[in-house]
């Protein structure tokens, strides 16, 4: 039982040692292959060279620069032993391909070093062992005139420079595009997480703040009249109980929605927790405004609701946002205005939904009161609407929101 883990750790080390051993002997094998090839290539030697070339190329994924050095040494030895234009082409192709690969997959510093190494090897091979022209087997190194494989050594050097620079630029451009795409994906993920976090924060704030405000006011009323007006105290406790149960139910719905998988991939796989979860209930909307008004009256604020225009179905996102805006505005009236009455106006016009909550209380919110106005403003901004909140000239405070409606919904 203790031998298998050791073998598992030993085998990768053995593979790496064998691969680097192959890289070390690669230049020698290449040299022998092309030396024998002057009289006719040996199939086994050619296969060995190709296999070791693939091994050295694979090593560039982990140790790019040492592997590139062995690859270039093999290419130079091939050119040194057989000064054929075809061999020079292959050497150049290998160097340019390696530079492009490293520029696309490694840092700029590593790829620049690789380009310098490839350029040095190419220049040393070009000027130290220039390819010959007009030779045929048997190889006659002193009976052929060097051609420079592009007309002259200077032109050949310029061509090598152009090819290496082009390969580096192409690979570096691919790397930058990939890095830019990864950065965009990371930013999109961060924005999605932030948006979802803010959405949950708004939902919890709007749902809990209203209920806690009602509970606090009813608790205060009950504590003041419990000795003199037991029936009134009992009504306050009943309201507290109902509001608490409603809030707990809303919290449970929110938590269940957060824990439920987005897809149905896990359905039917034995998770019994979802079986006990309560069924989804419809999200609140403007149809529940009368319930909001009743809750405000229980908290001591008489909310007069005025409807204008058609009272038809709304898009779900607009319906929920409108309900939450009115809920938070009424919560602010209950907790901060000191007013006894307020007016809630809902008007559906062509292409937009108008919401307004106005009171005649103290006329403002103290600094640092909370996140209610921020949440309302965010909800309206997400729907590309307009939001205003501030004191009224005649006294009190007013919150207005204009939510655009799709053309099909505005008819």
Residue 215 maps to a domain: no
Q: What is the count of structural domains for the chain?
A: 2
Q: How far is CA 145 from CA 133, 134, 152, 160, in A?
A: 6, 8, 12, 21
Residues 150 and 14 in one domain: yes
Its pTM stands at 0.51
Residue 151 maps to a domain: yes
Q: What is the pLDDT of residue 260?
A: 62
Residue 275 maps to a domain: no
Question: Of 155, 172, 188, which residue is a domain's last?
Answer: 188
Residue 80 maps to a domain: yes
Q: What is the pLDDT of residue 364?
A: 59
Residue 284 maps to a domain: no
CATH code for the domain in which residue 408 is found: 3.30.565.10
Q: Chunked in runs of 10, what are the mean pLDDT values of the chain (411 residues)? A: 57 83 84 75 82 86 88 83 74 86 90 90 78 49 44 72 91 91 86 78 72 77 81 81 77 69 44 44 79 83 89 87 89 84 90 92 59 84 91 89 76 42
Residue 88 maps to a domain: yes
Q: What is the pLDDT of residue 347?
A: 93
Q: What is the pLDDT of residue 137?
A: 45
Residue 378 maps to a domain: yes
Residue 184 maps to a domain: yes
Residues 168 and 310 in one domain: no
Q: What is the pLDDT of residue 269?
A: 43
Q: Which domain holds residue 305?
A: 289-294+301-411
- d(Cα 161, Cα 155) in Å, to the nearest integer? 10
């Amino acid at each position: 039982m203790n031998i298998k883990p050791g073998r598992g750790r030993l085998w990768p080390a053995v593979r790496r040692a064998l691969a680097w051993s192959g890289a070390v002997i690669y230049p020698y094998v290449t040299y022998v292959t092309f030396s024998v090839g002057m009289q006719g290539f040996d199939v086994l030697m050619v296969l060995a060279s190709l296999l070791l070339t693939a091994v050295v190329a694979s090593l560039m994924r982990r140790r790019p620069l040492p592997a590139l050095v062995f690859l270039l040494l093999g290419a130079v030895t091939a050119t040194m032993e057989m000064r054929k234009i075809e061999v020079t082409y292959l050497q150049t192709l290998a160097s340019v391909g390696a530079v492009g690969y490293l520029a696309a997959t490694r840092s700029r510093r590593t790829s620049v070093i690789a380009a310098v190494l490839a350029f040095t090897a190419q220049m040393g091979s070009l000027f130290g062992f220039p390819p010959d022209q007009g030779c045929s087997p048997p190889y006659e190194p002193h009976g052929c005139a060097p051609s420079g494989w592009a007309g002259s050594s200077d032109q050949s050097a310029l061509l090598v420079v152009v090819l290496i620079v082009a390969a580096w630029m192409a690979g570096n451009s691919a790397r930058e595009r990939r890095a830019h795409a990864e950065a965009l994906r990371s930013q999109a993920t961060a924005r999605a997480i932030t948006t979802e976090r803010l959405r949950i924060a708004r939902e919890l704030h709007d749902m809990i703040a209203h209920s806690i405000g009602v509970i606090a006011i009813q608790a205060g009323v009950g504590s003041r009249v419990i000795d003199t007006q037991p029936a009134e105290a009992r009504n306050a406790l009943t309201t507290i109980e109902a509001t608490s149960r409603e809030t707990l139910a809303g919290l449970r719905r929110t938590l269940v929605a957060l824990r439920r998988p987005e897809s149905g991939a896990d359905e039917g796989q034995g998770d019994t927790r979802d079986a006990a979860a309560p069924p989804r209930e419809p999200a609140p909307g403007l149809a529940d405004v009368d319930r909001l008004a009743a809750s405000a009256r229980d908290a001591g604020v008489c909310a007069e609701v005025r409807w204008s225009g058609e009272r038809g179905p709304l898009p779900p996102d607009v319906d929920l946002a409108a309900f939450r805006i009115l809920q938070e505005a009424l919560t602010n009236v209950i907790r901060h205005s000191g007013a006894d009455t307020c007016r809630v106006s809902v008007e559906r016009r062509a292409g937009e939904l108008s919401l307004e909550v106005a009171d005649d209380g103290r006329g403002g919110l103290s600094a640092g009161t909370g996140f209610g106005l921020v949440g309302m403003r965010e909800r309206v901004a997400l729907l590309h609407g307009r939001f205003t909140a501030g004191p009224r000239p005649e006294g009190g405070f007013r919150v207005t929101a204009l939510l655009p409606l799709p053309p099909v919904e505005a008819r």
